[in-house]
């Protein structure tokens, strides 16, 4: 695993919502980050950033929703459904 910290990008945020079938309002409710903040972040280019506290809240909401982040490892960072103890993916 890479020692490089995870950076939530606008594309990863949109992808996480898509995997969970969440609207921006759903992510706002799950994370406590205001919907207009999520909307503005997702509209940014891939180099766009948001304050660390909000990014952490979004990441935690995605993780509680059943996703895990795949760190940058030469192939790019990404998302997938978390693996359950029985070896299956936590797909909804």
Domain ranges for the chain, please list them: 10-81
pLDDT of residue 88: 64
Alpha-carbon distance of 19 to 1, in angstroms, equals 23
pLDDT of residue 91: 62
- Is residue 19 within 8 Å of residue 29, measured between CB atoms? no
Alpha-carbon distance of 41 to 49, in angstroms, equals 7
Residue of higher predicted confidence among 87 and 39: 39
What are 14-68's pLDDT values in tens digits? Answer: 999 999 999 999 999 999 999 999 999 999 999 999 999 999 999 999 999 999 9
pLDDT of residue 8: 93
pLDDT of residue 1: 39
Nearest to 11 by CA among 61, 56, 34, 45: 45
Strand locations in the chain, DSSP E? 67-70, 78-81
Residue 5 has pLDDT above 70, yes or no: no
Burial of 6 (0-12, 13-18, 19+ CB in 10 A): middle
| CATH T-level assignment (fold) for domain 10-81 | 434 Repressor (Amino-terminal Domain) (1.10.260)
């Amino acid at each position: 695993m890479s020692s490089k910290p995870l950076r939530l990008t606008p594309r990863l945020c949109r992808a996480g919502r898509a995997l969970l079938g969440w609207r921006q309002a759903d992510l706002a409710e799950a994370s406590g980050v205001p919907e207009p903040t999520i909307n503005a972040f997702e509209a940014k280019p891939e180099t766009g950033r948001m304050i660390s506290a909000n990014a952490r809240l979004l990441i935690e909401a995605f993780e509680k929703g059943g996703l895990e982040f795949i760190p940058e490892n030469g192939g790019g960072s990404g998302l997938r459904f978390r693996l359950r103890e029985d070896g299956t993916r936590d797909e909804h």
